């Protein structure tokens, strides 16, 4: 039985020490403990992203305690008991112990408490309801959190169906934690509760859904979890277009085999409609950022067609027209959809070309066209485009003199 994390490096940074000192100066030793992701990940040997703190102090007391220690206190969610302490540039969420008094599936009315076990009861999964004192001593009020974490079981705290009914976002959190930390068979009770609540996911704010979804898709291998989402009907509610998971699974396999970074947005692309209009509609419904939407639309385009056997010249043309990002995205998507594993080195070659080759700037301007005698007006653009096509056909020839010769020939051939 593990009863302490021991002193971890993240527990002794000057920021953490100052925040705990400030809280304990007001509430006494033991009034604050680590909770959530940092404790879970420390137990699992996974990297720690942010350090969340639970405390018996009330939000006003937290603010006063931090300010007395010259630490910035931002009331980021005071109605839920959360104050963000910003210490030497590092934010910490400090949340007062609470219980949920009223829930409607989307929001909760809370009451504060000084009972750690009560606070654990309102948390989502047993492995997220483990606390650690500042010296690393573990507190596991549900009694099974540490064992579940070590066995990598994602299990709801208390009655799964009730916990899902209280907050439907927990359905997506289940699949997210499953994707990141789960092993072995998924907890059958949890899966059944998620399946029963699937339709309710449609009532959640789209921003919250897509945030969870993108976090889920960023896991090293979310394939099993996404398959389970499909089986439980949850995937169909948020992404009705995701019927065939083969391209998604192909992309994850390529990213893992080739040691590419986990690209959540590109993984999402494999689950969206196949055409640009469909993608734009889905991006709107999911309230994705403009940047993400534009990237997904560009990735969905069909011309120029990407083939593993494209010549370097055709590939350069593709990079020039699409830009490096959309070109790379389309190469990876085409690769993920292909079944010819023998083409691996060709796909890699295309990606390498797209990364290493920067398209040159077209050497002529409108002024060059005017200088060649073409009158001001729409013809200038037409001539320029024709010479640009010639330049691209000649593989971006680095020779301004030839381009001007071509321009003269085009200009002479024009009837104006
Ligand atoms: P990470 O930060 O790596 O995403 P985390 O476990 O810290 O993981 P957060 O979303 O930061 O996740 O939430 C912190 C803690 O708050 C969780 O560990 C959990 O105990 C609790 N929590 C968060 N969201 C919910 C929820 N919807 N229902 C119940 N408890 C929740
Ligand atoms: Mg966290």
Domain boundaries, the chain: 1-151, 302-356, 366-413
pLDDT bracket for residue 165 (50, 70, 90): very high
- Ligand 1 centroid – CA 58 distance (Å): 20
Distance CA 335, CA 348 (A): 9
Say if residue 107's pLDDT is above 90.
Answer: no
The confidence band for 298, taking pLDDT boundaries of 50, 70 and 90, is very high
When mean pLDDT is compared over 234-238, 302-306, 336-340, 370-374, the highest value belongs to 234-238
Residue nearest to atom 18 of ligand 1 (CA): 36
Q: Are 75 and 63 in contact (CB under 8 A)?
A: yes
Residue range 189-205, pLDDT digits in tens: 999 999 999 999 999 99
Q: How confident is the model at residue 37 (pLDDT cuts 50, 70, 90)?
A: very high
Q: Is it the case that residue 299 has pLDDT exceeding 80?
A: yes
Pick the residue whose CA is nearest to atom 8 on ligand 1. 37
pLDDT mean over 23-40: 98
Mean predicted confidence (pLDDT) in 161-165: 96
Ligand nearest to the CA of 40: 1
Is any atom of ligand 1 closer than 6 Å to the C-beta of 129? yes
Identify the residue whose C-alpha is closest to ligand 1 atom 13. Answer: 36
Using CA positions, which residue lies closest to atom 16 of ligand 1? 36
Query: What b-and-e string marks burial along 217-228, b requiring 16 or more CB atoms within 10 Å of the CB?
Result: bbbeebbebbeb
Q: What is the CATH number of domain 1-151?
A: 3.30.460.10
pLDDT (0 to 100) of residue 2: 81
Ligand 1 contact, 128 CB (< 6 A): yes
Cα–ligand 1 centroid distance for 37 (angstroms): 7
Burial group, residue 300, by CB count within 10 angstroms (0-12, 13-18, 19+): buried
Give the span between the Cα atoms of 36 and 41, in whole angstroms: 9
- Is the pTM higher than 0.85? The answer reads yes
Sign for the pseudo-dihedral over CA of 250, 255, 256, 262? negative
Strands 131-132 and 90-96: unpaired
Mean pLDDT of the chain: 95
CA distance 214 to 216: 5
pLDDT band at 412 (very low <50, low <70, confident <90, very high): confident
The CA-atom distances, in angstroms, between 281 and each of 211, 229, 241, 271, 299 are 17, 22, 11, 13, 15
User: CB neighbours (10 Å) of residue 381?
Assistant: 11
Residue 310 has pLDDT above 80, yes or no: yes
- CA–CA gap between residue 199 and residue 294 (Å, rounded): 29
Distance 305 CA to ligand 2 centre (A): 42
- d(CA 189, ligand 1 centre) in Å: 20
User: Would you report the helix, strand and coil content of the chain in percent, each value rounded to 5?
Assistant: 55, 10, 30
Mutate to test the pocket of ligand 1, among 116, 126, 128 (most ligand atoms within 8 A of CB): 128
- How far is Cα 234 from Cα 241, in angstroms, rounded to an integer? 12
Ramachandran region, residue 409 (left: φ > 0; alpha: ψ -120 to 50; beta: rest): alpha
User: Residues 6 or more apart from 311 whose CB is under 8 A from it?
Assistant: none
Task: Enumerate residues 6+ apart whose C-beta is below 8 A from 397.
Answer: 391, 403
Task: Tell whether ligand 1 has an atom less than 6 A from the beta carbon of residue 49.
Answer: yes
Give the number of the atom of ligand 1 that is nearest the alpha carbon of residue 215: 4
Least confident span in 40-49, 177-186, 193-202, 333-342? 333-342
Confidence of residue 216 (pLDDT cuts 50, 70, 90): very high
Which residue's C-alpha comes closest to atom 22 of ligand 1? 123
Atom of ligand 1 nearest to the CA of 37: 7
- Of the residues 37, 47, 164, 182, which should be mutated to test ligand 1's pocket, given the most ligand atoms within 8 Å of the CB? 37
Binning pLDDT at 50, 70 and 90, where does residue 104 land? confident
Q: Is the distance from the beta carbon of residue 81 to the nearest atom of ligand 1 less than 6 Å?
A: no
Looking at the CA of residue 128, tell me the nearest atom of ligand 1. 18
Considering every ligand atom, which ligand is closest to the CA of 128?
1
pLDDT higher than 60, residue 415:
no
262 within 8 A of 280, measured Cβ to Cβ: no
Is cis: bond before 155, omega within 30 of 0? no
User: What is residue 416's predicted lDDT score, i.e. its pLDDT?
Assistant: 53
Task: Spell out the residues 6+ positions from residue 294 whose beta carbon is closer than 8 angstroms to its own.
Answer: none
Q: What is the pLDDT of residues 222-262, one digit of tens each?
A: 999 999 999 999 999 999 999 999 999 999 999 999 999 99
The closest ligand to the CA of 95 turns out to be 1
pLDDT confidence of residue 145: 98
Ligand 1 within 6 A of CB of 163: no
Ramachandran bin of 303, using left for φ above 0, alpha for ψ from -120 to 50, beta for the remaining angles: beta
Q: What is the DSSP string of 39-71?
A: HHHHHHTPPP---EEEESS-HHHHHHHHHHTT-
Position 339 scores a pLDDT of 79
Tokens 């300010």 belong to residue: 67
The candidate with the shortest Cα–Cα distance to 330, out of 299, 366, 372, is 299
Q: Long-range contacts of range 326-332, CB-CB < 8 Å, 24 or more positions apart?
A: 326/295, 326/298, 326/299, 326/301, 327/354, 328/354, 328/355, 329/266, 329/269, 329/295, 329/298, 329/299, 330/299, 330/301, 330/306, 331/306, 332/251, 332/254, 332/260, 332/263, 332/266
Q: Is 37 in the pocket of ligand 1 (CB under 6 A)?
A: yes
Q: Which atom of ligand 1 is nearest to the CA of 169?
A: 27
Q: Is 52 in the pocket of ligand 1 (CB under 6 A)?
A: yes
CA distance 285 to 68: 45
The DSSP secondary-structure symbol of 96 reads E
Is the pLDDT assigned to residue 99 strictly greater than 90? yes
- How do strand 72-77 and strand 108-112 relate by DSSP bridges? unpaired
Please tell me the distance between residue 36's alpha carbon and the centre of ligand 1 in angstroms: 6
């Amino acid at each position: 039985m593990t009863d302490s994390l021991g002193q971890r490096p993240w527990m002794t940074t000057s920021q953490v020490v100052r925040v705990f000192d400030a809280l304990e100066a007001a509430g006494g030793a033991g009034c604050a403990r680590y909770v959530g992701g940092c404790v879970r990940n420390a137990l699992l040997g996974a990297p720690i992203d942010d350090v969340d703190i639970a405390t018996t102090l009330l939000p006003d007391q937290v603010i006063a305690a931090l300010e007395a220690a010259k630490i910035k206190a931002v009331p980021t969610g005071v109605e839920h008991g959360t104050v963000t302490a910003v210490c030497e540039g590092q934010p910490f969420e400090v949340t007062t112990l609470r219980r949920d008094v009223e829930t409607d599936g989307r929001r909760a009315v809370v009451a504060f408490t000084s009972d750690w076990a009560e606070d654990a009861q309102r948390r989502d999964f047993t492995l997220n309801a483990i606390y650690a004192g500042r010296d690393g001593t573990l507190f596991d009020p549900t009694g099974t959190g540490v064992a579940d974490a070590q066995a990598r079981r994602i299990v709801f705290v208390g009655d799964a169906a009730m916990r899902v009914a209280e907050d439907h976002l927990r359905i997506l959190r289940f699949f997210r934690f499953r994707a990141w930390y789960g092993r072995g068979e998924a907890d059958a009770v949890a899966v059944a509760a998620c399946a029963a609540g699937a339709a309710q996911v449609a009532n959640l704010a789209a921003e919250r859904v897509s945030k969870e979804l993108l976090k889920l898709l960023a896991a090293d291998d979310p394939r099993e979890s996404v398959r389970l989402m499909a089986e439980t009907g949850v995937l169909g509610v948020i992404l009705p277009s995701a019927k065939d998971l083969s391209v998604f699974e192909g992309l994850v396999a390529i990213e893992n085999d080739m040691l590419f970074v986990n690209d959540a947005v590109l993984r999402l692309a494999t689950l969206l409609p196949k055409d640009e209009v469909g993608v734009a509609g889905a991006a709107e419904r999911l309230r994705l950022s403009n940047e993400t939407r534009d990237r997904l639309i560009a990735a969905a385009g069909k011309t120029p067609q990407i083939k593993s056997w494209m010549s370097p010249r055709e590939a350069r043309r593709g990079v020039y027209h699409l830009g490096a990002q959309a070109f790379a995205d389309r190469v990876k998507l085409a690769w993920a959809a292909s079944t010819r594993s023998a083409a691996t080195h060709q796909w890699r070659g295309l990606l390498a070309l797209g990364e290493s080759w920067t398209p040159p700037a077209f050497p002529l301007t409108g002024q060059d066209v005017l200088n060649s005698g073409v009158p001001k007006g729409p013809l200038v653009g037409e001539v320029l485009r024709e010479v640009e096509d010639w330049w691209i056909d000649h593989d971006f020839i680095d020779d301004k003199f030839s381009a001007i010769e071509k321009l003269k020939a085009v200009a002479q051939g024009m009837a104006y």
